[in-house]
Amino acid sequence: LALFNNDFILRQSRHLADRVRQAAVAADSAITRAFQLCFQRPPTRQELTDARSLDLFSLCRALLNSSEFVYVD
């Protein structure tokens, strides 16, 4: 929760959402672009379906707080 509510993460989530919004025409392409920028991979079908229920800022905030983004495998 410390990262999730951190002012820096909130600002970066807003910047990422703005960047993705400017580059994408459709919602699905925005979601895919966000996943590409954060994870270097496209979303799975389930991730794409789940992400459609979020606004872009919330999606970017969740991606920046995910284990896949924070920890290196």
Q: What does the pLDDT look like over 62-72, one tens digit per residue?
A: 999 998 887 77
Residue 25 has a pLDDT of: 86
Q: What does the pLDDT look like over 29-53, one tens digit per residue?
A: 999 999 999 999 999 999 999 999 9
Mean pLDDT over all residues of the chain? Answer: 92
Instruction: Return all residues near 38 (Cβ < 8 A) that are at least 6 apart.
Output: 16, 60, 63, 64, 66, 68, 69
Residue 1 has a pLDDT of: 62
Residue 52 has a pLDDT of: 97
